[in-house]
Amino acid sequence: MQVNVLASGSTGNATFLNLGDTNILVDAGISARRIKKELDEIDVNVEDLDAVLITHEHRDHINGLSTLTRKYGVPVYARPDTWKAILDQAVAKDVPINCRVNMADSLDIGDVKVEPFSISHDAADPVGFSLYHRQTKCAVATDLGFVTEKVKKALAFADVVVLEANHDVDMLKQGSYPWYLKNRILSNRGHLANTDTGWTLARLARKNQCHTFLAHLSQENNRPEVAEKTVADILTGAGCKVGSDVTLHITYPDRATGLK
């Protein structure tokens, strides 16, 4: 399995996953040119993508979708209500019809089984994904205000988890965002705080070794070292060995982080 978070954060999200013989991109929130460039860097041909899976319709997850589909004809899977919300936006309304696929509750893409799961976020029908190939599992959940039982189940026993660690609560509260935006982020349909992410991982039913990418860090209300320390401290306090039981990887808005 190979996982490369090509970009992560409110300026654009895209994660490349290779399981078995199947190449999947979760979200296309950076330009098609950047997606191609980042895939070139890891010796993956953009034409070899088997599918793009869309979590939800916010701009930072679909910015590159139109060009990517028109240029390379890659099939895109999204929930029906998410498609409606995507096609309402000028940035993505010209995704070719033959590239649009309605995402079922469970789907097979090549030799990968994909199970979308609902997440709590202010979008039409937002989802995360559990992906399975033989004994290997990867789970992706960004943009969620609250970790439900369903999400905990979806993340359980994954070899690799991509999980949001959006903000430090104090930095957000003391920061410059207007109150309505602070409230939106802090709400159950907003984004996860570093402490939420830490406790989720600490209480997660895990395999012996789990790699976790801390994703969708706010540039305004978080810092990579703050996110990593907060999560690591909670894990350590819960008796988990950071670096062996759970290995943390930070993600960035402007460069890729990977694991092979």
> What is the binding site for Zn ion (CB under 5 A)?
58, 60, 143
CB of 145 to Zn ion, least distance (A): 10
Beta-strand relationship, 257-259 and 246-250: unpaired
Map tokens 């030799």 to a residue: 111
Q: Which is nearer to Zn ion, 54 or 234 (CB)?
A: 54
Q: Which is nearer to Zn ion, 60 or 168 (CB)?
A: 60
Q: Which is nearer to Zn ion, 143 or 228 (CB)?
A: 143
Angle at 27 between CA 67 and CA 93, to 5 degrees: 45
CB of 260 to Zn ion, least distance (A): 26
Tokens of 191: 């984004």
Q: Which is nearer to Zn ion, 60 or 125 (CB)?
A: 60
CB of 126 to Zn ion, least distance (A): 7
CB of 212 to Zn ion, least distance (A): 18
Tokens of 172: 């957000």
The residue with its CB nearest to Zn ion is 58
Residue by residue, DSSP assigns 71-108 as: HH---EEE-HHHHHHHHTSTTTTT--GGGEEE--SSEE
Angle of helix 224-237 versus helix 194-202 axis, rounded to 10? 30
Q: Which is nearer to Zn ion, 10 or 18 (CB)?
A: 10
Residue by residue, DSSP assigns 136-185 as: EEEEEE-S-SS--HHHHHHHTT-SEEEEE--B-HHHHHHSSS-HHHHHHH
CB of 58 to Zn ion, least distance (A): 4
